[in-house]
Structure 1
Amino acid sequence: MIETLIKILQEKYLVKTNIISKQQGGWASLAYKIEDKNGHFYFLKVYEKSRKSTSYLTKHIDIYLPIADWLDDQTSLKGKIIRLIKTQSENFKCEDENYVCILFDYIDGETVGEQNLTEEQVIQLAETVAQLHNLEDFPFDIKQISETFHLPFISTLSEWIEKNFDHLKVDIKELLKPNISTIKSQINEWNNLSKVLKEQHLKFCLCHTDIHHWNIITNKQHLYLLDWEGIKFAPPEADIFSIYQQPYFNSFMKKYCELNPDYQINDTVLRYYQISRKLQDIFEFIEQLQFDELNQEEYKINLNYLKKEVDTITG
């Protein structure tokens, strides 16, 4: 695989390198640090087409990448998010029969991960999110990324729970069994909330939708927000929900509301996004365990992730 990536970098980006080091990636993609012949560093994100989740995650890739580039190049978020590198043919991605690759400038810092944000970093995060939410005059059609309060995977998850439970692997069934009624209850609540919100006239803004510590890189001076695959034109709660249970929520909201003084949390919308994320995580881990070709270690890791999500689900 490394030889393939070296070839892709040289042919598509004119980046010559023999120095590729694997980094800790997300659950759905691989990540590599690249050093070229001139000592410049890049970050390469690689989706494997063999994974069941890849088609879902890259479905809107040609929509979100130009938006992420615009955010970094033309808005107040310049220097606060990861910067895309185009191919020699001016594309934001390249792919072959096996991989989809996206190249970024490397950020010299560390992922927050299990660490806590400092007070200064919380302020920076609040400023970044508020600036994102206050953007206007978009040079793209917002309809293609607008929230519809519809999630296609919900029906599939329902079928797994209701009709096709016996077709799931034994390990998955053992994890799900004690919480089947709770999962069903949350699916029902999600359906009810979806119907209600589709009828409401809510204020939308540009949202990241996946703000968590593994998508934040910090160094001594700056905080950077990564992974914009889920960018959406949606209610602010699409971002606020992921910060709601953080210990720094009040500090975050104090600064956020200074920059967005008319905002008040909509508890119904907040609940919708909380349930959506929990059900999505459960669905995606079941999907990977059931259908992807995982090695023993990958299978064990994903099984533990699923257990964590199922154990913490609340009605």
Structure 2
Amino acid sequence: MKVKYRIEDSDLVTKLDKEYGIQVESVNFIPLGDSAYSYLLNCTNGERYYLKLYDHQNDRQRSNTERLQYYLPLTWQMYHQGLFRNITYPIKNQNGGFKTTFTDITVVLFNFIEGETLAEAYPFSKEILETIAKSVALIQKITPFIEKTALLTETFDISFESDLEKCISLLENTKTFSNSIKQTLREHVLAKKEQVFALLNLVRKLRGIALADTKEKVLCHGDIWGGNLIRCENGLYFIDWESAMIAPPEYDLVGYIGEEFGVFFSTYEKHTGKIVTINPDLLRFYSYRHHLRNLTSWLMNILHRNTEEEQNENDLEMILCHCMNRWDSIEPRIRVVEALLNNRRDG
């Protein structure tokens, strides 16, 4: 979120002191993401924490709190049982809970990781790619040791499709928006309307293929991009586990399709200790679903959720510069993967 939540810092500090017993000296809002509000907390004893705040009035953030019951116990177990320690994990409140719910908000306190994110480190170096690939393999290898019954399992959900269709319909039926950002949104999205629906139909078809795939499912992070990776002196840390679930390996491999896939996959396969079969249609499903789901979320934000123009400007930029402009590159990148897999099979 680009604009901080409507709560006084002093009120937030009081609530945190009561629930967590921490003496917060300063609260610094971090303007990133849209799944929750982010803060850095500096305490009087020198400790630092990362805080996520979910607004119950925002339907997306409210629904995101439902995922807390899955990934918070997971990351707690991973860290405290030594399964995989380069992660963020929840700090329990004084009642032993992983989250704290107030009237209008839910908050989660995490350990703070000192370092730099890899959000601006693209294109990744060979060293970074190999480090990520090794970690992905290690995460998947701990699957037998985690409590899978408490985790989400991939269903290849595309329930966003109805909201996407409604947003497109609203843009079509409103000839002129008084808000300039919404008007710009209308012009750009409707220019891509045919492609949007063609991709949506493709995702529906690919979902059927995905459901028929019998590949063994493993623990996946689900959102391994540079912004969720922090490089520190003692290694690479994986943060924001909201999308974690038991899923096909492709769920975590899809972010590295294209020219970099050869380096990434060879290291990943080496550290899994076995030959891994890749289904390119699963990579297609995850690629197109990712972009269409993001498009839907940002459309919903601009048309229905956002109350600040700064947030609208951010979400419009995300649609134009981090979504629609990338659709045409997906198929060529997957073809690179297919060529690599074919050469390996033929060799």
Q: Residues 310, 222 of structure 1: CA spacing in aligned structure 2 closer, same or farther, 3 A cutoff?
A: same
2:286 alignment partner, SS class: helix
- Show the 5 A alignment for 1:4-23: 4-23=11-30
Q: Residues 134, 48 of structure 1: CA spacing in aligned structure 2 closer, same or farther, 3 A cutoff?
A: same
Q: How far has the Cα of 1:163 moved from its partner?
A: 7.6
CA distance in 2, matches of 1:144, 1:106: 24
CA distance in 1, matches of 2:95, 2:172: 47
> Which range is displaced more, 250-259 or 177-186?
250-259
Correspondence for 1:218: 231
1:102 alignment partner, SS class: strand
> For 2:57, which of 47, 50, 53 is the aligned residue?
50
2:51 alignment partner, SS class: strand
Query: For 1:133-182, what per-residue CA distance to the aligned partner results, in whole angstroms no more than 9, with x for missing partners?
Result: 11233453447511112221122213433587425953332121111011
CA distance in 2, matches of 1:211, 1:234: 14
Q: Residues 75, 18 of structure 1: CA spacing in aligned structure 2 closer, same or farther, 3 A cutoff?
A: closer
> For 1:173, which of 186, 193, 202 is the aligned residue?
186
Correspondence for 1:312: 326
Q: What's the TM-score once normalised by structure 1's chain length?
A: 0.92
Structure 2 portions without partners, runs of 5+: 1-6, 332-347
> For 1:25, which of 21, 32, 35 is the aligned residue?
32
> Which range is displaced more, 285-294 or 163-172?
163-172
CA distance in 2, matches of 1:99, 1:230: 21
- Show the 5 A alignment for 1:1-315: 1=7, 2-78=9-85, 80-116=86-122, 117-142=124-149, 144-161=151-168, 165-166=172-173, 169-245=182-258, 248-260=260-272, 261-308=274-321, 309-314=323-328
What is the letter of the counterpart of residue 195 of structure 2?
T
Query: For 1:26-65, what per-residue CA distance to the aligned partner results, in whole angstroms no more than 9, with x for missing partners?
Result: 1232221112121111111112222232123222211221
CA distance in 2, matches of 1:274, 1:38: 45
Q: Residues 294, 28 of structure 1: CA spacing in aligned structure 2 closer, same or farther, 3 A cutoff?
A: farther
Q: Residues 165, 94 of structure 1: CA spacing in aligned structure 2 closer, same or farther, 3 A cutoff?
A: farther
- Asked if 1 retains the 8 angstrom alpha-carbon contact of 2:53 and 2:107, the reply is yes
Structure 1 portions without partners, runs of 5+: none
Q: How far has the Cα of 1:90 moved from its partner?
A: 0.8
What is the letter of the counterpart of residue 311 of structure 1?
N
CA distance in 1, matches of 2:230, 2:308: 29
Q: How far has the Cα of 1:263 moved from its partner?
A: 0.8
Q: What's the TM-score once normalised by structure 2's chain length?
A: 0.84
Query: For 1:176-200, what per-residue CA distance to the aligned partner results, in whole angstroms no more than 9, with x for missing partners?
Result: 1111011100100010111222223
CA distance in 2, matches of 1:204, 1:40: 38
**In proportion to residue count, which structure has more helix?**
2
Count residues in correspondence.
313
Q: Percent identity?
A: 23
2:256 alignment partner, SS class: coil
CA distance in 2, matches of 1:28, 1:4: 22
2:295 alignment partner, SS class: helix
